[in-house]
Every structure is written in structure tokens, then in C-alpha cells.
Amino acid sequence: MVMMRPTRKHSGYWAFLAHRLSGLGLALFLPLHFLALGTAIQGAAKLNSFLEWTENPLAKFAEIILVILLSAHLTGGLRLLALEFLPWSERQKTWISIGAGISLAAGLAMLFNLI
């Protein structure tokens, strides 16, 4: 039986992990974003063909994931700012849960808008 370290049971650890993984996901997205922007430089025909491709259901799903990553990274960054500049309180777990809820709500809002 594998036992988790006590620090990994803490919600702060999972918030830290979500913040780091969302940042990594966003960093992996950047080259694709620059590629998409580069199609605009190549002319209207290239841009229009790329925009047609973005109507693909897989691209729509990737947009939803991107919104979740962005909101998770934003709320994780706000959590870090709060840890840095505000006094420690026992409500930290509540704020972590609220941040996770906001991230998922943003993704769901994006999903319902696309259907």
C-alpha cells in the first residue's frame, strides 16, 4: 500500500500542482498560438482556411481546455499573491476551493456557449 506524504494531502499542495501544470499547459499552447497568428501575416486566404479549421470539434474542445487552464492559472496566481501579501488564515482551504470552482465554472460557461 502506497502512503501519500502528509504535505500531499493538503489542499495547498493540489493548488500548487494545478497552478504549475496549468502554466506548463499554457506554455505548450504558445507555439500553436504564434503559428495561428502567423497565418494572418501570410494573407487572408491562409487565415480563413485556419479559421475554418477551428470549427473542428477537437479545436472547440481544446478551446474549453484552454479556458480552464487560463482560469486555473489565474486563480492560482491570485492565491500566491494572497499568500505573499495577506496574513495567513484558516480560510485558505475555502479560497482554494472557490478558485477551483471559478476555474471549472469558466470552462463550463465556455462549453455551454459553444454547443
Model's pTM, two decimal places? 0.70
In this predicted structure, the answer to whether residue 73 has a pLDDT above a threshold of 60 is yes
CB atoms closer than 10 angstroms to residue 89: 10
Q: How far is CA 89 from its chain centroid? A: 26
Domain 17-114 has CATH 1.20.1300: yes
User: Which has more confidence, 34 or 110?
Assistant: 34
Asked if residues 96 and 15 have their Cβ atoms less than 8 Å apart, the reply is yes
The predicted-structure confidence for 19-72, as pLDDT tens digits, reads as follows 899 999 999 999 988 988 888 888 888 888 888 988 889 988 888 889 889 988
The alpha-carbon radius of gyration of the chain (Å, integer) is: 18
Asked if residues 72 and 98 have their Cβ atoms less than 8 Å apart, the reply is no
Residue 9 carries which side chain, given as an amino acid letter?
K
Q: Which of 40, 64, 42 is nearest to 51 (CA)?
A: 40
For the chain, which residues make up each domain, given as ranges?
Answer: 17-114
Banded pLDDT at 2 (limits 50, 70, 90): low
Average pLDDT of the chain, as a whole number: 83
